[in-house]
């Protein structure tokens, strides 16, 4: 493969390994929004995507898929444990989500994180043409920008952080806090979801490294006695809104939505939660509030059902194993207490569904509950809004999700305040159609005006200022 002018580096490749009809291994495009966002850029710039194929021990040569050059980075079983499950998802993930679960600091995990980040950086350096643009994604790869800059000072390097960046008081717990900041500062542009995340990062840089910051600029020593400017600012990510709108307009998907309502016994209101099964999502808080509403007699299972889709995630990390037990115990208790032969309180689905089915569910749901305790953005909130082509439905949205900065016409809640959450759910259930319409139109306008293509364009425009190469990359 020739070298690419544009390289994306992410923990995961944009494809999943699946069995085909004959039972052989095949590749399928993964459903994530990032692929959708970057695919047009990748095609135009003849780009490459460097990432892990999602299975331990898989050693593969670079290959072409769906018009993209994919460069697999292998991880051994031990590395999956130490770098992915350990440092990424049992140290950084809980620490950056306000220690909702206790982060574990293990030196062996850090060593694996350094080694694996170096492998990603090496693969990206090899894939990139002279003066190429490299865009590194997310918290699993925070050291890659600096490693890349050291190997390839000709490159223009962007980094986007999809999850929150915590307040300094929490961040400073990290034993490797300086190395991580220095790693990120290898990038020319460091993008965050919220203005507050960029602010937390700049403060950590000032306190730990004593670098000067001014507006979004950070003066980073260039190793030759001078400084260069790195840009740290908010670029809130979005979804491919048009594809949700298109799906929501299909008659067969609307029919499926009606069928879903029917199969739940045609309750007058359906509440919906859709999350990876993760302790940051506030699934327990949501269920506690709903359980109490049933107990108080403010709602009845004859009229109201909560559908909770909790897709399996990081199933070998202890905190996730525990969370699953707690959620399933709670669902069992609430259903045991309140179900009737014909109606269920909570329809719980520990499964992942294709996009078509999700859009049907969004159309079937009168109220969408996004009660995250901390969330970088929460794209489910945006997917729900985009899908409501009928301008009906109510979004209840945690102020601790990045989406709250843009979706002010939702009913905003503090999920820790159970009484407040109960009242918000009641307000959503009882909201008149005219008010639903007014709020939903405002929400939809925002999501349509700022879609994922816009996001990547804004980021790449900011990065273009640093570019020394001849060709511009446009989304």
Q: Residues in the site for ligand G6P, rule: CB under 6 A?
A: 12, 138, 162-163, 313-314
* 89 vs 436 by CB, closer to ligand G6P: 89
* 12 vs 439 by CB, closer to ligand G6P: 12
Examine the residue annotation and report whether 138 is marked as an active-site residue of this protein: no
Closest CB 313 distance from ligand G6P, rounded Å: 6
Closest CB 331 distance from ligand G6P, rounded Å: 23
Burial of 20 (0-12, 13-18, 19+ CB in 10 A): exposed
What is the four-CA torsion angle of 238, 241, 243, 248, rounded to 10 degrees?
130
* 95 vs 364 by CB, closer to ligand G6P: 95
* 235 vs 290 by CB, closer to ligand G6P: 235
* 4 vs 163 by CB, closer to ligand G6P: 163
Q: Which of 69, 97, 161, 162 is catalytic?
A: 162
Closest CB 10 distance from ligand G6P, rounded Å: 7
Q: In what order do the strands lie in the sheet with 411-413?
A: 346-349, 304-311, 269-276, 367-370, 394-398, 411-413
Closest CB 34 distance from ligand G6P, rounded Å: 8
Q: In whole angstroms, give the CA distance from residue 401 to residue 387.
A: 19
Closest CB 162 distance from ligand G6P, rounded Å: 4
Closest CB 314 distance from ligand G6P, rounded Å: 5
* 20 vs 315 by CB, closer to ligand G6P: 315
Examine the residue annotation and report whether 467 is marked as an active-site residue of this protein: no
Q: In whole angstroms, give the CA distance from residue 394 to residue 88.
A: 34
**Helix count (H) and strand count (E) of the chain?**
17, 18
Q: Which of 278, 375, 451, 454 is catalytic?
A: 375
The closest residue (CB) to ligand G6P is: 162
* 96 vs 466 by CB, closer to ligand G6P: 96
Query: Would you say 184 and 190 are in contact if contact means Cβ atoms under 8 Å apart?
Result: yes
Closest CB 379 distance from ligand G6P, rounded Å: 8
Annotate 407-430 with DSSP letters as a single string.
-TTSEEE-TT-HHHHHHHHHHHHH
Burial of 324 (0-12, 13-18, 19+ CB in 10 A): middle
Per residue in 354-384, is it b (16+ CB within 10 Å) or e — as a string? eeebbbbbbbbbbbbbbbbbbbbbbbbbbbb
CA 55 vs CA 12, 13, 59, 293: distances in Å: 10, 11, 10, 43
Q: In whole angstroms, give the CA distance from residue 221 to residue 225.
A: 7
Q: In whole angstroms, give the CA distance from residue 7 to residue 217.
A: 24
* 73 vs 260 by CB, closer to ligand G6P: 73
Strands 346-349 and 367-370: unpaired
Give the helix/strand (H/E) hosting 125: helix 107-127
Closest CB 340 distance from ligand G6P, rounded Å: 37
Tokens of 164: 């929150």
Tokens of 115: 């080694």
Q: Which residues are catalytic?
A: 162, 375
């Amino acid at each position: 493969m020739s070298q690419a002018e544009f390289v994306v580096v992410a923990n995961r490749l944009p494809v999943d390994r699946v069995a085909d009809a004959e039972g052989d291994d095949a590749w399928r495009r993964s459903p994530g929004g990032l692929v959708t966002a970057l695919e047009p850029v990748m095609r135009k710039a003849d780009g490459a995507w460097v990432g892990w194929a999602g299975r331990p021990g898989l050693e593969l040569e670079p290959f072409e898929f769906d018009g993209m050059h994919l460069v697999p980075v292998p991880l051994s079983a031990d590395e999956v444990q130490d770098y992915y499950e350990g440092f990424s998802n049992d140290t950084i993930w809980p620490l950056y989500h306000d220690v909702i679960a206790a982060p574990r600091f293990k030196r062996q995990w850090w060593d694996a994180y350094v080694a694996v980040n170096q492998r990603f950086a090496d693969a990206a350096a090899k894939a990139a043409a002279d003066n190429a643009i490299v865009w590194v994604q997310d918290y699993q790869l925070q050291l890659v920008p600096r490693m890349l800059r050291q190997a390839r000072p000709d490159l223009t390097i962007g980094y986007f952080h999809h999850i929150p960046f915590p307040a300094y008081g929490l961040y400073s717990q990290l034993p490797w806090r300086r190395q991580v900041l220095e790693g990120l500062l290898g990038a020319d542009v460091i993008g965050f979801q919220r203005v507050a995340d960029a602010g937390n990062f700049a403060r950590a840089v000032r306190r730990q490294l004593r670098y000067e910051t001014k507006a979004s600029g950070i003066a980073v020593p260039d190793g030759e006695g001078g400084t260069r400017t790195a840009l740290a600012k908010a670029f809130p990510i979005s979804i491919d809104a048009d594809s949700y709108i298109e799906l929501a307009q299909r008659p067969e998907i609307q029919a499926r939505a009606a069928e879903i309502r029917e199969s739940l016994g045609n309750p007058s209101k359906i509440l919906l939660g859709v999350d990876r099964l993760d302790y940051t999502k506030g699934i327990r808080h949501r269920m506690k509030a709903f359980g109490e509403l049933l107990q108080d007699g403010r709602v009845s299972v004859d009229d109201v059902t909560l559908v909770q889709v909790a897709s399996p995630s990081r199933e070998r990390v202890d905190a996730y194993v525990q969370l699953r037990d707690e959620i399933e115990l709670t669902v069992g208790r609430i259903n045991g207490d309140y179900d009737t032969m014909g109606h269920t309180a909570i329809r719980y689905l520990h499964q992942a569904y294709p996009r078509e089915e999700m859009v049907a569910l969004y159309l079937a749901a009168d109220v969408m509950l996004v009660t995250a305790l901390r969330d970088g953005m929460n794209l489910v909130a945006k997917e729900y809004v985009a899908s409501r082509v009928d301008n009906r439905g109510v979004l209840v949205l945690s102020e601790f999700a990045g989406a709250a900065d843009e979706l002010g016409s939702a009913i905003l809640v503090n999920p820790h305040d159970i009484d407040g959450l109960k009242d918000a759910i009641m307000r959503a259930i009882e909201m008149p159609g005219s008010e639903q319409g007014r709020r939903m139109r405002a929400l939809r306008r925002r999501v349509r005006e700022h879609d994922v293509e816009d996001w990547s364009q804004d980021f790449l425009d900011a990065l273009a200022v640093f570019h020394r190469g001849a060709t511009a990359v446009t989304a």
